[in-house]
Structure 1
């Protein structure tokens, strides 16, 4: 089981390919706040709803100083298809080895339909301008989560 991050922890550094194969680095976002969200799979109903919610609120979040990065175990090609099919504007990155997910505590045992399984734990980590964890939310719901973040952050 991965260790869950706590407020004040240094956010684990990462460099992952986006839907176009370009590297996205957390270090390149220093000076801005970043919402890093982890989701199980592109092109599934819950993950589509969540990605669309982030896309719909991207300008509001950007105006408040937040970048948004979605992380899944999908390959860049699937992320590109997801982006095109759903007209997503949020940055999507691929973590097929699940190393970043494990570093963020977003991969491990979880309950799925009453059974314990190992997989992606739908999670959101808010990283401040200095690269420290401001909030770490685990086992979040796909629906209504973005509205809750906006409310909790006072945006």
Structure 2
């Protein structure tokens, strides 16, 4: 082998090694992010809470539901606005729950569906300022 061929081979090996090491470092930093290099998402901030108080509702078949419902709202301004509408919000809750079968409040799956329905009805009055419906207490009697 002559001198030029040997230099060419050495340069090719060094260049290939440099590209390989650089590519590996780049891939680790961008594609294969680890827990320490990945951005940590901020936890969801809970909004202000508006209590609708305790409600006593007749269910189908003579069952009675006693519940305390609290609404999570988007911000303090929404809380102030909705405090003035508490009677309307209570009426919407009563209209949704009145004459429901007892089964609608006995299982977690049914309660989740009921919460979604309440959220939809209440946001119709609240201009989508309510983010969650919370059942603080649920007691039923057959």
Please give the range of the TM-score, normalised by the shorter of the 2 chains. under 0.3
Structure number having the greater strand percentage: 1
Greater helix share, 1 or 2? 2
Structure number with bigger Rg: 2
The alignment's TM-score, normalised by the length of structure 2, stands at 0.25
State the TM-score, normalized to the length of structure 1.
Answer: 0.24
Higher relative contact order (CA 8 A, sep 6+): 1
